[in-house]
Structure 1
Amino acid sequence: MIRFDCHAHVYKTVTAVPGARYVPEQPAHLREWLGHQAAHGLAGGVIVQVSFLGTDNSQLCRALAALDRERFAGVAVVPLDVDAAALDGLVAAGVRGVRWNMVRGGVVPDLRAPVTRAFVDRLRTRGMHLEVHLEGPRLAPLLPALTDLGLPLVVDHFGLPSEADPACDPLVRAVQALDDPGALYMKFSAHYRLPFDVTPHAEKLLERVSPSHIVWGSDWPHTQNEDRTGYADTYARIADWGALDDGIATSILYGIGHGKGR
């Protein structure tokens, strides 16, 4: 049973950082997201820092301040050289993970570099996880090293597979080839951002990834796709992707849920 919406964006203002890939036309208010949750019987969820705000997590933290910590958490975006005090402040605000948004040519950190190793160590000591948003063909060769970092790894949006046939898809094949997928968590979200049906990909991923390591996200407010989908449509697709239960994953990754029902 899916009880939490683990990928949504909330922001009151849309002032973007320089170089932002996309700037929405209107805010995404917290009350609207909570209304969608109530309408679908969900118990809580996760606010993910939106890309156009860069590393300014202030709106994310203000939203979390208004929410129950047992039912809501956040995922922030920070620089690699983020200091301990800044991370501690985010943790105190309810942030449980950090996102690397590397799509569309974004820089992939060198996992062997001292600054990256120090960054990973800071996450590990605080019980945080790493979330990656990267196209499947670029992610696939990195997956073994990312799952060997010693902290939970969350892969966004089905891993953004590139091939309509999952048997030929590099990301799906990389997941299936992992010696130990225990650190890997997948986020089944934003299916509409892909040019093909991802149901076969979900089936193949679940051959290697436990259903208890899958979380669902609405990707609300569906930026750049507002005219193509809506909250009800994204929620309805959960049934197509197997008997999922996010109780374990949400507790480990976000500190929410604790095995509670709706």
Structure 2
Amino acid sequence: MNSIHIVDTHCHAWDDTCRYVTGTAYTPRQAVPLDALLAQWDKHGVASGVLVQPSFLGTDNAYLLNALSLNQKRLRGVMVVDPLRDLARIDSLHQAGVRGFRFNLISSGAALPNFTQPPWRAWIRAAQGCGWHIVMAGSSRQLAETLPQTADTNLPVVIDHWGLPDPLSGTACTHWRRCLDLARRYPIWFKLSAPYRLNGLRPDALLPEIIAAVGLQRVLWGSDWPCTRHEDQRDFTALLRLPDLPGHDAVPLLQHCAANAATLYRI
């Protein structure tokens, strides 16, 4: 495993100084600081990665930004933004290593902001100038309903956790197939992360469909460590396992994912 270059594009860290959002649907039992994450990376040969702002911290990205400042060569970041507050500092955020902003539709509902209205219109223009992307976590139904709203932003979109198809329908899920169809027409990426969030669906059934839609050039791997809401899944070795992809065995899928991460995150 150590001979493979590995980039973890979905992980979280926070400490006891962080304040949780009031009324959040999920509150972690304990903090998991950056040192704990980096220890996992070092143990398992992960070269670098992307800190994703956890939803329970809202738009207070202070811990994430401090982590980036201390680890500029190894870390990039994805924020949850307040466009009114953050627009004026987007250049400095980019210099710090931020490369995108996210929406967790599962936590916040299926509504996206109206990107055609201020202040989001100004924010999208600035994000375009920085070469950033949008990260979206949601069920396939939520994603199918909201992805068309991102088309006019001309920003790449990264879909978390395999796109979360309906577990009863699997690869036949109408909403998930709609996401795949959209990915054929727009710069949409799929993140191969957190298979335990698939409610029993087998990743090896989903992977060929995703590759058929976006190729090997728009897939990423993420550990989702420390596995919020699923703390019993914190076996990092298990998180590194990806399904075999018939016909592409010469180069491990993790290696393709790392090369793609280098393109998207400049890491």
Give the TM-score band, short-chain normalised.
0.7 to 0.9
CA distance in 2, matches of 1:102, 1:85: 26
Name 2:6's counterpart in structure 1.
Answer: 3
Name 2:135's counterpart in structure 1.
Answer: 131
- The number of residues matched between the two structures is 254
More helix by percentage: 2
CA distance in 2, matches of 1:99, 1:241: 29
Secondary structure of 1:97 counterpart: strand
| Cα drift, residue 84 of structure 1 | 2.7
CA gap 1:33/1:198 in 2 versus in 1, 3 angstroms: same
- Given candidates 102, 106, 109, the residue that maps to 1:103 is 106
CA gap 1:247/1:227 in 2 versus in 1, 3 angstroms: closer
CA distance in 2, matches of 1:145, 1:24: 31
CA gap 1:83/1:41 in 2 versus in 1, 3 angstroms: closer
CA distance in 1, matches of 2:223, 2:40: 10
| Cα drift, residue 52 of structure 1 | 1.1
Residue type at the aligned position of 2:93: L
Q: Give unmatched runs, 5+ long, in structure 1.
A: 257-262
Alignment of 1:62-211 (within 5 A): 62-69=66-73, 71-106=74-109, 107-178=111-182, 180-181=184-185, 183-199=187-203, 200-211=205-216
Identity %: 34
CA distance in 1, matches of 2:91, 2:103: 18
| Cα drift, residue 213 of structure 1 | 1.0
| Cα drift, residue 82 of structure 1 | 4.1
Secondary structure of 1:28 counterpart: coil
Q: Is the 8 A contact 1:6 1:46 kept in 2?
A: yes
Q: Give unmatched runs, 5+ long, in structure 2.
A: 247-251
| Cα drift, residue 177 of structure 1 | 2.0
- Alignment partner of 1:251 is 2:224: no
- Given candidates 32, 35, 39, the residue that maps to 1:31 is 35
CA distance in 1, matches of 2:230, 2:24: 17
CA distance in 1, matches of 2:55, 2:234: 20
CA gap 1:160/1:2 in 2 versus in 1, 3 angstroms: farther
CA distance in 2, matches of 1:105, 1:48: 16
CA gap 1:179/1:59 in 2 versus in 1, 3 angstroms: closer
Name 1:259's counterpart in structure 2.
Answer: none
Secondary structure of 2:120 counterpart: helix
CA distance in 1, matches of 2:226, 2:49: 14
Per the normalisation by structure 2, the TM-score is: 0.85
| Cα drift, residue 195 of structure 1 | 0.9
CA distance in 2, matches of 1:218, 1:225: 12
CA distance in 2, matches of 1:179, 1:217: 19
Q: Is the 8 A contact 2:156 2:189 kept in 1?
A: yes
CA distance in 2, matches of 1:112, 1:241: 40
CA distance in 1, matches of 2:13, 2:238: 19
Q: Is the 8 A contact 1:147 1:181 kept in 2?
A: no
Residue type at the aligned position of 2:103: W
| Cα drift, residue 12 of structure 1 | 1.3
Residue type at the aligned position of 1:101: N
Q: Deviation digits for residues 130-165 of structure 1, max 9, x if unmatched? A: 111122101113334424521111111111211444
